[in-house]
Chains A and B, each alone.
Chain A
Amino acid sequence: DAGVTQSPTHLIKTRGQQVTLRCSPKSGHDTVSWYQQALGQGPQFIFQYYEEEERQRGNFPDRFSGHQFPNYSSELNVNALLLGDSALYLCASSLDAGSWFTNEKLFFGSGTQLSVL
């Protein structure tokens, strides 16, 4: 049973470009959350998707957008990249937004390391 998978593992972009990161949740999970982790910092919540809709959003600009597909996989898109967008982007999956916090641990993928030059 595969856990949370993310692709690509590493990515190098230049300022102003656009990037798409992908996440496949753990089998049976229907909720996907995205976090940004800058070097030396704790992960910061970007947004969460459930039933193909954005449920919650953190303090991130509209340049950050996402999508969830019928198979529960998700994409994170970042437009007009800035140097400050360089970070490790983590995807986490769970069964549903209500129950996973009580019944199981949140499963994180291995992350995508984005470098903006």
Chain B
Amino acid sequence: ELKVEQNPLFLSMQEGKNYTIYCNYSTTSDRLYWYRQDPGKSLESLFVLLSNGAVKQEGRLMASLDTKARLSTLHITAAVHDLSATYFCAPYYGGATNKLIFGTGTLLAVQP
């Protein structure tokens, strides 16, 4: 069974602090997506990681992928309130599966 686990599930942090969200998945995948979701809204694509060792950065967010460890991380640098949202990772499985499997989500609350 394909499983994707994120931790923490809930993260409350102060502005200006750094933190990392972890995404572990049960079955090897060489492509992984990170999404952001605001309350009551749809999914906004943040990053597409296409290979082992891939690292992408945009603003205060940086994502990385370790396919051998089946682990992806989303690092937040100097958090600001605008980053408050739920973050999902989703590894891609091709072949007969051909779909994204979403993680449990991490609710991030950045306090002023």
> Chain A contacts of B45 at CB under 8 A?
105-108
Q: Beta-carbon contacts of A90-101 to B below 8 Å, as 1s and 0s?
A: 100000010001
Contact assessment for B105 and A41 in the assembled complex, using a CB-CB cutoff below 8 Å: yes
> Chain B contacts of A104 at CB under 8 A?
48
Contact assessment for A42 and B50 in the assembled complex, using a CB-CB cutoff below 8 Å: no
> Chain B contacts of A48 at CB under 8 A?
98-99
* From A42, A58, A107, A111, contact of B88 by CB (8 A): A42
> Chain A contacts of B92 at CB under 8 A?
101
Tell whether B41 is near chain A: CB-to-CB under 8 Å: yes
* From A45, A56, A90, A113, contact of B43 by CB (8 A): A90
Tell whether A44 is near chain B: CB-to-CB under 8 Å: yes
> Chain B contacts of A55 at CB under 8 A?
98
Tell whether B104 is near chain A: CB-to-CB under 8 Å: yes
Q: What is the total number of residues of chain B having a CB less than 8 Å from a CB of chain A?
A: 26
Contact assessment for B98 and A90 in the assembled complex, using a CB-CB cutoff below 8 Å: no
- A111 to B102 Cα, complex, angstroms: 16
- A42 to B36 Cα, complex, angstroms: 11
Q: Beta-carbon contacts of A16-59 to B below 8 Å, as 1s and 0s?
A: 00000000000000000101000011111100100000011010
- A43 to B101 Cα, complex, angstroms: 8
> Chain A contacts of B44 at CB under 8 A?
108
> Chain B contacts of A40 at CB under 8 A?
105
Contact assessment for A101 and B94 in the assembled complex, using a CB-CB cutoff below 8 Å: yes
Q: A42-B102, A43-B102 are in contact. Are A110 and B42 (CB under 8 A)?
A: yes
> Chain B contacts of A35 at CB under 8 A?
102
Contact assessment for B102 and A44 in the assembled complex, using a CB-CB cutoff below 8 Å: yes
> Chain A contacts of B4 at CB under 8 A?
42
Report which B residues bind A (CB closer than 8 A).
4, 31, 33, 35, 40-45, 48, 50, 88, 90, 92, 94, 96-105
Interchain residue pairs with CB less than 8 A apart (25): A40-B105, A41-B104, A41-B105, A42-B4, A42-B88, A42-B90, A42-B105, A44-B102, A45-B99, A45-B101, A48-B99, A55-B98, A56-B96, A97-B98, A101-B31, A101-B92, A105-B33, A106-B33, A106-B45, A106-B100, A107-B45, A108-B43, A108-B45, A111-B41, A113-B40
